[in-house]
């Protein structure tokens, strides 16, 4: 986020903006309530966008070349580089403008939402962006808060309200907020309008759970000062639940709200491919400078001889004789620079932009990424990162709502040492079938009833206010209720209370200080005496109630590690075994116990609690002591098992990610045990894994010591896999001093789980890995506003369209509806985009080397006089028209392996990891190939046509334009055919543009040279092309040179595929097994075949004699790639042995 510039440490807010009348008041300036996530405005779009575009090496370089062409006399016209540059800049600006417009639209939707504000004694409807600090805002049930508010009053007498902060911190439970008593009584607009009060509070900060302030209420003559804490602050983005309406005063607005401060500012994400591209450009710039300097030096070396310096047919003018040598040298150098400048491909950038923009539509159109129940398609917010999806090495995922559905369901329980399951609304002991004589009992046993009452009384569940009014209405004759709507601060409690009500013990609500329970239809009232709140150190909560018979009872529930040691009776051992069984099934477990108090014990307890609660010093410690004194000598009742339903296919997805060589980290705000049990059930941790823990550290030294021990353990037993569990507090200690050690431990663990994480901590973990020495590519995926900073920090951010609002989706690069779609997004889309763009980039450099090297070689034959080999129209159109479409279409449609194969064999993802296809080796190969082809074009044409001064059809001799055109024709055909060789997946569009490009070149040349155009001031090419094609030897030369260039290429491909096939190439061969056509590649082969056989078979196939049964295409067991990989056994659905 950012720190707003504030003068003082606190802000003073006058409620309803009633400023003091006497003069000493200095108004403070506050931000308005607009949320801004866009990058540009109408005014700064042009300068800011141009600045960003000219930061790119190629664009800046072409701008310089364009200016040079304007200033000095150069061999080619300024249009040759000006036009492509203008085209590139415009296309990019349109694309980025469109994406930013979408962000503006989303912002306007939020900022224009209607809200109600109290102004001059009435409610006024206005827009969210118009709220000012100090306004009193009314929020109704199920609405989200438009600003950070301090609660003034609600529709309840005690001024309390319930809020869910799911979209902020991922917690779906209900939190209770309370107003100070002085304002809680003001429940109408008229009363609030008379309120005179001042709030002083700290300046905005990002911590969601911290708020320090005080409110001074002026009543008649006195001023009452009350403290304000986080319990009276309602955060923007949270939602009001179970309360009809509230009034609150705005304290932080717009970009100063805690939600906005938790955003990271949107930085421009750039993909690894773009970085490779820039380094390649620099290499080519060096080649270019080398060629230009060499040509200039050779020119002067040549001209040192008198006869070449000033031949008889080209005498110098007076001005030329007297001009300075240094200036001449510089202008010559610049002229060569301009002549060769096409070695740097300007249209590369525009093609890449178009490829990314158009290619991103395929993600949205993919029906496999469409979620029917919610009617949601995948969504692309940033198309610049498509190929990064193929490079991911680490996945950071949120747990609640991303891996799980965020819906709890009661599964089983253990009462008094017997396991029960819920069957058709009855508790059935394990082993009882429905029709056994005991199966259809209607009454509950005493222990069962006590257990269920404990579940119904020991909780913080609320009932939807609309339903409690007719509490006796919804009962049926058999005593089963129509379901009440419960709200709870923890989804577990809600699931338990709902389960109890289905089985026959129904919690029907609280009124004042009594709780009402209906057991099998008869109502009982329990008086609530004390609540011992849950806290993470005790890991349990309790209530003390007075039963209808006057007994004082304590009911406790909590984690088994905190209940079982404190229990002295009950079936402790059996329950412990059951709890472990539940946990192994991935259920969230709780134990339930109770204790009866004698009147004397109760008096002692009451006294201790009162003393602790009113203490001013060390209140927390005293309360903890009192709670420990009360919660002992318990009698164990049983345990419950609740399941947080995993989303479908989460296990398979995580397993596939692991096979693809991707490490998965789960970062969650959840409790330690819960997080571990979900990690186990979703396959993130395996049962066989050795789980290491770094939790509950308060000091630096203990944390460091523990880290060292973990590192030692990992070194000692490196055979088994390790999983690491870290919690938020230990993590911040580890990151402060011992970053290196911590990273060392993490990298050696195959799975890491971080629990109890604050939103900005999640982002810190991502940044830590992102900036580690290997610089891995990271991906973060989450669904709530608490994941936004992590999503923005990672290289690729993915939002899940979950139940928790749209914050994550708005700030992500891609949005999908379910976690399981991640595998298709990475293994199929990511793989394709990466292969396509890698080939696109290298091919571009290749075709420009082919294009310019003959120009350089030609200088040796024309005394370095900067004569161009090609006509300037050809220079301009080579990259824009003749060779641009085939590669663009390839980069949109290419599928070198069938999508099903990619998805069923995640191992293929490893083939492209670490930017494998854009490394130095492939780059070198393409560059050398380019130079080789250029030499063949030039010297081939020279040997065949140049020396023996061949005659054209009309008896004329060959001229330099004819020679240049011949080279250019050969080049266009070869370069286009080379793209065709690279293509695996042919559609009619590929055929159309590939052959169409060659045909277009011929037709264009005939028209361009066959007519005298009035607007061209010179027409060197008049009738050249027609005459060239009228010569039989020219046709022979064209065919011979093209075949010579491509023949070696084909041979190399065939040999490599036979002798050293990569796993991707093997996968191309298994495709045939799934009914994909065999003619994907001319290099199909089966075991033990020679190259000739495959060519013969191809010819047979072309002649229609394909006998697919003969081709044996399977992964042989001897494949070295899979020596230690189980993927073939586990995930391959398509290992069909025959073609």
Treating both helix axes as pointing N-terminal to C-terminal, what angle do 988-1010 and 884-893 enclose, rounded to 10 degrees?
Answer: 170
Beta pairing partners, 10: 202
CA 826, 829, 832, 834 torsion-angle sign: negative
**What are 118's two structure tokens?**
């109290």
**Cα 615 to Cα 629: distance, rounded to the nearest angstrom:** 17
Taking alpha carbons only, the member of 578, 537, 580 closest to residue 558 is 537
**Cα 723 to Cα 8: distance, rounded to the nearest angstrom:** 47
Taking alpha carbons only, the member of 464, 479, 387 closest to residue 425 is 479
**Cα 692 to Cα 734: distance, rounded to the nearest angstrom:** 15
Per DSSP, the three-state class of 258 is: helix
Catalytic residue flag (residue 398): yes
**Cα 907 to Cα 127: distance, rounded to the nearest angstrom:** 52
Is residue 416 within 8 A of residue 567, CB to CB? The reply is no
Give 91-95's long-range contacts (Cβ < 8 A, gap of 24+): 91/350, 91/353, 91/354, 92/53, 92/349, 92/350, 92/353, 93/49, 93/50, 93/53, 95/353, 95/357, 95/383
Helical spans, DSSP H, in 637-686:
650-659, 672-681
**Cα 980 to Cα 885: distance, rounded to the nearest angstrom:** 12
**Cα 730 to Cα 707: distance, rounded to the nearest angstrom:** 10
**Cα 671 to Cα 644: distance, rounded to the nearest angstrom:** 13
Give the other-Cβ count within 10 Å of 361's Cβ: 12
Query: What backbone phi and psi angles, to 5 degrees, belong to 1008?
Result: -65, -40
Which entry of 148, 398, 644, 871 is annotated as an active-site residue? Answer: 398
| Beta strands per DSSP E along 537-651 | 540-546, 552-558, 567-569, 588-597, 634-646
Q: Characterize 744-756 residue by residue with b for buried, 16 or more Cβ atoms within 10 angstroms of its Cβ, and e for exposed.
A: ebbebbbbbbbbb
Per DSSP, the three-state class of 241 is: strand
Is residue 850 within 8 A of residue 1041, CB to CB? The reply is no
Taking CA 912 as the corner, what is the angle to CA 911 and CA 917, rounded to the nearest 5 degrees?
115
**What are 22's two structure tokens?**
């006497």
Is residue 738 within 8 A of residue 707, CB to CB? The reply is yes
Per DSSP, the three-state class of 659 is: helix
From residue 882, alpha-carbon distances to 124, 635, 874 in Å are 64, 86, 9
Contacts of 249 (CB under 8 A, 6+ apart): 13, 15, 16, 134, 135, 136, 137, 149, 150, 152, 199
Per DSSP, the three-state class of 461 is: coil
Q: Characterize 425-454 residue by residue with b for buried, 16 or more Cβ atoms within 10 angstroms of its Cβ, and e for exposed.
A: ebbbeeebeeeeeeeeeeebeebbbbbbbb
Per DSSP, the three-state class of 609 is: helix
Question: Catalytic site residues?
Answer: 398
């Amino acid at each position: 986020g950012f720190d707003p510039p504030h003068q003082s440490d606190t802000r003073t807010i006058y409620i309803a903006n009633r400023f003091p009348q006497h003069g000493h008041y200095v108004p403070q300036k506050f931000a308005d309530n607009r949320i801004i996530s866009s990058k540009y405005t109408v005014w700064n779009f042009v300068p800011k966008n141009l600045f960003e575009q000219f930061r790119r090496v190629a664009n800046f370089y072409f701008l310089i070349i364009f200016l040079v062409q304007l200033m000095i006399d150069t061999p080619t016209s300024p249009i040759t580089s000006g036009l492509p540059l203008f085209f590139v800049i415009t296309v990019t600006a349109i694309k980025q403008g469109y994406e930013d417009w979408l962000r503006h639209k989303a912002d306007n939707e939020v900022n224009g939402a209607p809200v109600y504000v109290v102004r001059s004694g009435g409610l006024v409807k206005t827009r969210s962006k118009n709220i000012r600090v100090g306004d009193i805002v009314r929020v109704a049930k199920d609405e989200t808060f438009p600003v950070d508010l301090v609660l003034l009053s609600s529709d309840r007498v005690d001024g309390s309200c319930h809020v869910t902060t799911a979209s902020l911190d991922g917690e779906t439970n209900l939190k209770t907020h309370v107003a100070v008593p002085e304002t809680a009584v003001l429940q109408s607009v008229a009363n609030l309008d008379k309120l005179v009060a001042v709030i002083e509070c700290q300046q905005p900060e990002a911590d969601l759970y911290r708020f320090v302030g005080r409110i001074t209420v002026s009543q008649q003559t006195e001023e009452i000062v009350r403290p304000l804490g986080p319990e009276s602050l309602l955060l923007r983005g949270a939602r009001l639940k179970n309360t009809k309406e509230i009034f609150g005063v705005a304290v932080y607005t717009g970009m100063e709200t805690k939600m906005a401060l938790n955003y990271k500012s949107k930085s421009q994400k750039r993909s690894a491919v773009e970085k490779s591209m820039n380094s390649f450009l620099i290499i080519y710039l060096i080649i270019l400078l080398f060629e230009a300097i060499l040509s200039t030096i050779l020119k002067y070396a040549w001209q040192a001889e008198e006869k070449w310096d000033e031949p008889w047919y080209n005498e110098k003018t007076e001005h030329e004789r007297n001009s300075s040598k240094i200036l001449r040298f510089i202008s010559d150098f610049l002229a060569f620079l301009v002549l060769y400048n096409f070695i740097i491909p300007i249209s590369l950038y525009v093609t890449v932009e178009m490829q990314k923009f158009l290619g991103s539509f395929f993600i949205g159109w993919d029906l496999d990424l469409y979620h029917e129940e919610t009617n949601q398609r995948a969504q692309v917010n940033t198309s610049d990162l498509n190929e990064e999806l193929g490079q991911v090495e680490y996945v950071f995922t949120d747990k609640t709502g991303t891996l799980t559905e965020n819906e709890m369901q009661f599964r089983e329980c253990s009462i008094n040492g017997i396991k029960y399951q819920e069957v058709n609304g009855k508790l059935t002991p394990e082993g009882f079938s429905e029709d056994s004589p005991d199966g259809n009992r209607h009454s509950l046993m005493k222990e069962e009833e006590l257990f269920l009452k404990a579940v119904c009384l020991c909780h913080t569940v609320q009932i939807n206010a609309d339903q409690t009014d007719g509490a006796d209405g919804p009962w049926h004759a058999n005593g089963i209720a129509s379901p009440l709507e419960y709200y709870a601060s923890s989804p577990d409690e809600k699931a338990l209370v709902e389960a109890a009500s289905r089985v026959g013990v129904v919690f029907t609500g609280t009124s004042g200080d009594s709780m009402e329970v209906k057991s099998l239809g008869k109502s009982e009232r329990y008086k609530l005496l004390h609540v011992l709140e849950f806290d993470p150190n005790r890991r349990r909560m309790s209530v003390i109630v007075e039963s209808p018979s006057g007994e004082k009872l304590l009911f406790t529930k909590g984690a088994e590690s905190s209940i079982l040691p404190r229990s002295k009776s009950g079936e402790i051992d059996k329950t412990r075994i059951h709890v472990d069984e539940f946990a192994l099934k991935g259920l969230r477990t709780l134990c339930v116990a109770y204790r009866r108090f004698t009147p004397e014990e109760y008096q002692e307890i009451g006294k201790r609690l009162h003393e602790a609660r009113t203490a001013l010093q060390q209140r927390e410690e005293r309360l903890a002591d009192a709670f420990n004194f009360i919660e002992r000598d318990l009698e164990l009742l049983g345990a419950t098992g609740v399941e947080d339903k995993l989303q479908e296919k989460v296990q398979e997805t995580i397993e596939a990610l692991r096979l693809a060589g991707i490490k998965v980290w789960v970062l969650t705000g959840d409790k330690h045990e819960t997080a571990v049990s979900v990690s186990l059930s979703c396959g993130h941790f395996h049962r066989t894994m050795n789980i290491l823990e770094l939790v509950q550290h308060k000091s630096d030294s203990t944390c460091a010591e523990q880290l060292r021990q973990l590192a030692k353990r990992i070194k000692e037993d490196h055979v088994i896999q390790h999983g690491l569990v870290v919690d938020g507090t230990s993590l911040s200690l580890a990151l402060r001093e011992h970053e290196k050690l911590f990273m060392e431990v993490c990298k050696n663990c195959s799975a890491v789980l971080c629990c109890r994480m604050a939103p900005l901590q999640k982002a810190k973990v991502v940044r830590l890995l992102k900036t580690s020495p290997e610089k891995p590519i990271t991906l973060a995926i989450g669904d709530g506003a608490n994941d936004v900073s992590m999503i923005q920090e990672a290289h690729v951010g993915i939002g899940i369209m979950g139940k928790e609002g749209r914050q994550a989706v708005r700030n992500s690069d891609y949005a999908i509806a379910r976690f399981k779609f991640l595998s298709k997004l990475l293994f199929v889309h990511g793989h394709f985009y990466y292969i396509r763009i890698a080939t696109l980039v290298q091919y571009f450099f290749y075709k420009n080397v082919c294009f310019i090297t003959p120009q350089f070689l030609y200088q040796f034959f024309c005394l370095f006089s900067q004569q161009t080999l090609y006509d300037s129209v050809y220079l301009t159109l080579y990259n824009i028209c003749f060779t641009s479409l085939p590669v663009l279409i390839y980069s949109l449609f290419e599928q070198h392996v069938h999508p099903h194969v990619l998805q069923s064999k995640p191992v293929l993802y490893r083939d492209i990891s670490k930017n494998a296809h854009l490394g130095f080796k492939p780059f070198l190969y393409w560059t050398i190939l380019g130079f080789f082809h250029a030499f063949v074009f030039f010297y081939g044409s020279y040997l065949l046509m140049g020396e023996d001064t061949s005659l054209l059809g009309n008896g004329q001799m060959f001229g330099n334009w004819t020679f240049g055109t011949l080279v250019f024709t050969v080049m266009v055909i070869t370069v286009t055919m080379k793209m065709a060789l690279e293509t695996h997946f042919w559609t009619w569009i590929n055929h159309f543009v590939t052959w169409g490009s060659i045909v277009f070149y011929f037709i264009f040349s005939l028209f361009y040279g066959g007519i005298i155009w009035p607007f061209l001031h010179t027409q060197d090419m008049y009738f050249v092309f027609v005459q060239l094609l009228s010569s039989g030897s020219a046709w022979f030369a064209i065919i011979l040179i093209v075949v010579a260039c491509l023949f070696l290429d084909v041979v190399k491909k065939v040999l490599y595929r036979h002798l050293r096939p990569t796993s991707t190439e093997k996968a191309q061969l298994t495709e045939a097994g799934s009914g994909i056509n065999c003619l994907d590649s001319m290099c199909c082969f089966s075991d033990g075949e020679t190259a000739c056989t495959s060519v013969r078979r191809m010819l047979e196939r072309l002649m229609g004699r394909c006998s697919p049964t003969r081709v044996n295409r399977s992964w042989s067991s001897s494949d070295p790639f899979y020596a230690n990989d189980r993927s073939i056994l586990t995930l391959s659905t398509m290992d069909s042995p025959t073609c």
